[in-house]
Amino acid sequence: MRFRFAVFTTRAVNATSRRLGRGRGTVAGGRSGLKVDPQLLQHLTASRQVVLVTGTNGKTTTTRLLAVALGAGGATVVSNETGSNMPPGHVAALAGDRRATVAVLEVDEIYLPRVLSATNPAAVVLLNLSRDQLDRTNEVRMVSGHWRAALAAAPHATVVANADDPLVVWAAGAAAQVRWVGAGLRWQLDAVGCPSCEGRIAFDAAGSWACVTGCGFVRPDPSVTMSTGGEATGGEATCGEPTGGESTGGEATGGASATTYYGEWADGRSERIRLLLPGRFNHSNALMAAVAAEAMGIAVADGLAAMADVGEVAGRFTTRLVNGVRTRLMLAKNPAGWSELLDLVGNDDGPIVISINARTADGADPSWLWDVPFERLARRVVVATGDRCRDLSVRLHYAGVAHVMESDPLAAVRIAHDGHDGHDGHDGYDGYDGAKRAERDGGDDADRTDRERVDVIGNYTAFAELLQASVPAPVGT
């Protein structure tokens, strides 16, 4: 009786929240349902196959790709696809679709032990661990230790783990069943301390790593590795230093040529990873999802074929109209995520808006901005915006990036598109206008047409606000 009433409460509160315009109906109902029945998550997953996806970056995308891959096998799949990744969000998604036989749940890093215990998952995907929201999850080795203890208590779960991240390897090392994936680790600065002996981890150019203190903690041999036609990608470390850009997926990113990615299995199999989503990191997510889908009985080729049609995830990488401007929206939340995304966009020539907030969902401490390699944007037209646009402006100044500051994100998008437009007296507009004129004068007509699109990168709440304020872009714009 309590369980049924809790499900009813979850659905009713979520529907009311959506009707009143107070939210998307993905959290409030779950909170109410859990108050009625604290075991609601356990009850809602008792008769389903469950896969959990966690990590600092890539959770939402990997969850979406994995759900699509499992659906290709004919299963009905439910997922918290909006990114509400704590128990209230899980409960809301599961209560909203009681018919689905498979649940793919994105899980916040801190909540993994609790959710793992409640759901008895068939598989767990561990992507990466790095600093995120410094006032909440600043000690990533502690998080890794909590994962390790939880996985040791879940012997029936198959763990799909990134062999290139020492913190992930430490956590997964206690699991009974592990499939190691050489998915790459571009941001290594948070993984240099050995979680086994508190010594030092050293990485080599090929992407391998080991504790140099001598405790024996080393990179495991992966059963599958991502490559670019023969070369593994695990060693492409940035560690905060600038590197060249790349272009993949549905839209080119400047002058760099497209990169082709493959999954290379130790048993000799090779599968090309074809995605509409751009970037090395998204192809890495797809490979992790493909290995997890295979663990759940889906052929790798079938899973990857299903993922190839995914063009956006929760609004990320979509092209929409913001304040009347054709805009590509992207999300980055921490130094590791920014480093990957700046690799993608750094070699473009078009205008870019960067929006930074420091609200509860973002983390109140924006000092991580100093770890982001904004130097890669030196050739782009940049507008700094958001609640913490002044902090960002200072960081861009010391990175040598010509920019202008505008606190209103919608106005910032218009400024990036139009240029000066009478904004006299704003610091940086002279350099901005010069860069804008050079950008508009260079290239052929096709290049200039593409440059009319403004790239926008925001952290969590900044991205959400711009997505909410946007409308679909007409076909052909």
* Percent of the chain predicted with pLDDT > 90: 73
Question: Residue 252 domain-assigned?
Answer: yes
Least confident of 220-224, 328-332, 358-362: 358-362
CATH number at residue 352: 3.90.190
By residue count, the chain amounts to 477
Question: Residue 216 domain-assigned?
Answer: yes
CA-CA distances (angstroms) from residue 247 to 115, 344, 427? Answer: 37, 6, 32
Round to whole Å and give the CA distance between 290 and 379: 36
Question: For residue 243, which phi and psi values (nearest 5 degrees)?
Answer: -135, 175
pLDDT at residue 252 greater than cutoff 50: no
Tell me which of 279, 307, 335 is where a domain ends.
307
Copy the structure tokens of residue 88.
Answer: 């209230």
- Number of other CB atoms surrounding residue 397 within 10 Å: 15
Q: Which residue has the tokens 């711009």?
A: 466
Residue 282 · residue 127 · CB < 8 Å = no
Secondary structure letter of residue 270 according to DSSP: E
Asked if 303 and 324 sit in the same domain, the reply is no
- Number of other CB atoms surrounding residue 212 within 10 Å: 11
Tell me which of 241, 276, 307 is where a domain ends.
307
Round to whole Å and give the CA distance between 356 and 333: 9
pLDDT at residue 318 greater than cutoff 50: yes
pLDDT of residue 234: 59
Least confident of 180-189, 235-244, 343-352, 418-427: 235-244
pLDDT of residue 426: 43
Question: Residue 333 domain-assigned?
Answer: yes
Handedness of CA 382, 384, 82, 52 (dihedral sign): positive
Question: Residue 41 domain-assigned?
Answer: no
Copy the structure tokens of residue 341.
Answer: 């995304």
Question: Residue 36 domain-assigned?
Answer: no
Asked if 208 and 61 sit in the same domain, the reply is yes
Round to whole Å and give the CA distance between 249 and 458: 20
Handedness of CA 402, 408, 409, 413 (dihedral sign): negative
Question: Residue 382 domain-assigned?
Answer: yes
The amino acid that residue 126 corresponds to is: L
The contacts of residue 441 (CB under 8 Å, 6+ apart) are: none
Handedness of CA 247, 250, 253, 257 (dihedral sign): positive
Asked if 267 and 323 sit in the same domain, the reply is no
Asked if 272 and 372 sit in the same domain, the reply is no
Question: Residue 88 domain-assigned?
Answer: no
Tell me which of 307, 336, 361 is where a domain ends.
307
Residue 290 · residue 69 · CB < 8 Å = yes
Copy the structure tokens of residue 309.
Answer: 């049609």
Asked if 165 and 203 sit in the same domain, the reply is yes
Secondary structure letter of residue 106 according to DSSP: E
Question: For residue 252, which phi and psi values (nearest 5 degrees)?
Answer: -65, 155
How high is the mean pLDDT of the chain?
A: 87
Secondary structure letter of residue 476 according to DSSP: T
Asked if 294 and 198 sit in the same domain, the reply is yes
Question: For residue 34, which phi and psi values (nearest 5 degrees)?
Answer: -70, -25
pLDDT of residue 424: 38
Asked if 115 and 229 sit in the same domain, the reply is yes
Q: Which residue has the tokens 């047409």?
A: 449
Least confident of 130-144, 208-222, 370-384: 130-144
Asked if 260 and 330 sit in the same domain, the reply is no
Asked if 76 and 200 sit in the same domain, the reply is yes
Asked if 278 and 355 sit in the same domain, the reply is no
pLDDT of residue 86: 96
Rg of the chain over all Cα atoms, to the nearest angstrom:
22
Asked if 355 and 290 sit in the same domain, the reply is no
Question: Residue 68 domain-assigned?
Answer: yes
Asked if 141 and 188 sit in the same domain, the reply is yes
Question: For residue 162, which phi and psi values (nearest 5 degrees)?
Answer: -75, 110
Residue 395 · residue 369 · CB < 8 Å = yes
Task: Provide the residue range defining the domain that includes 334.
Answer: 319-472
CATH number at residue 206: 3.40.1190.10
Q: Which residue has the tokens 């075991």?
A: 39
Closest CA to 381 of 462, 288, 456, 295: 456
Round to whole Å and give the CA distance between 68 and 63: 9
pLDDT of residue 476: 61
What integer is the mean pLDDT of 442-449? 45
pLDDT of residue 136: 66
CA–centroid distance for 180 within its chain:
20
Domain count across the chain? 2
Reported as half-sphere exposure (CB side, CA atoms, 13 A), residue 96 has a value of 21
* Percent of the chain predicted with pLDDT > 70: 85
Residue 385 · residue 406 · CB < 8 Å = yes
pLDDT at residue 468 greater than cutoff 70: yes
